[in-house]
Amino acid sequence: MKVKLNDEEYEIRLTVKAWPLLAFIDDRRLNAPKSAEEAIKRGEELDQALEKLMEMCVAPKPPKELWSKLLGIINIEENRQLKEAIELYEKFRGEHRG
């Protein structure tokens, strides 16, 4: 999948290798930290995880200011792939009921 942001075209390649990293990012992003120190540590972990995700999934390497937008696009692509897999499964089940 290709997207254009700030006059630059990026190719997004989402593979299953990225799924654990996406799950980690979601966990760190969505679960509230218990203290300011934990929030700071979590922010650093997210920064490292997002950098690795961008290396794995986006070419050319995007600047940091685009990471949030690209993470959203990657999440949408992940959902699209899962929906496609569900549709294939349902089609297979429908054809092989006996």
For 38-87, write each residue's pLDDT tens digit.
Answer: 999 999 999 999 999 999 999 999 999 999 999 999 999 999 988 999 99
> Given the structure tokens 């200011």, which residue do they identify?
65
Check pLDDT > 60 for residue 6: yes
Q: In what helix (H) or strand (E) does residue 3 lie, and over which residues does it extend? A: strand 2-5
In whole angstroms, give the CA distance from residue 57 to residue 40.
25
